[in-house]
Amino acid sequence: MSSENSTSPGEPQPAAGARKACDLCFRKKIKCDMLKPTCSNCSLYNAECRTSLIRQKPGGRARRRVGAQEAPEEASEDPEGIKARLERIEKLLKEAAEQKAPKPSTNSESPPL
């Protein structure tokens, strides 16, 4: 089985989640070639090429929406559970639509013609 890594077999691979750009490239949101001792962009900007050891939080991209709920496992198997869940969802949608819908004016005056 062959691996398609950009590093040689003797080179250590960067840790998962490690930053793939120096500080300047990261701040400017530009592609970094990670050349050592100075990347091409740092050379161009005559800047010190440093890479801070800032670690990303695990699972940073896979955030759940606030208020999202897990569906009960038994609901996915039981037709009655699915029906009850559907009714709850329909009720919530109806309530949300009623809250967003403009309420008719109770003013008895008609607009001028």
Q: Which residues contact 54 (CB under 8 A, 6 or more apart)?
A: 19
Of all residues in the chain, what percent are helix, strand and coil, respectively (each to 5)?
Answer: 35, 0, 65
Rounded Cα–Cα distance for residues 98 and 41 (Å): 55
Domain boundaries of the chain, sorted by first residue: 19-53
Query: Which class for 82: exposed (0-12), middle (13-18), buried (19 or more C-beta within 10 A)?
Result: middle
Q: Looking at residue 91, what is its pLDDT?
A: 94
pLDDT single digits (tens) 41-77? 999 999 999 988 765 555 555 555 555 555 555 445 6
* Single pTM value for the model: 0.35
pLDDT single digits (tens) 1-51? 444 444 445 545 555 566 788 999 999 999 999 898 999 999 999 999 998
Structural tokens at position 64: 């759940």
Q: Looking at residue 5, what is its pLDDT?
A: 44
CATH 1.20.1440.230 fits 19-53, yes or no: no
Q: Looking at residue 110, what is its pLDDT?
A: 62
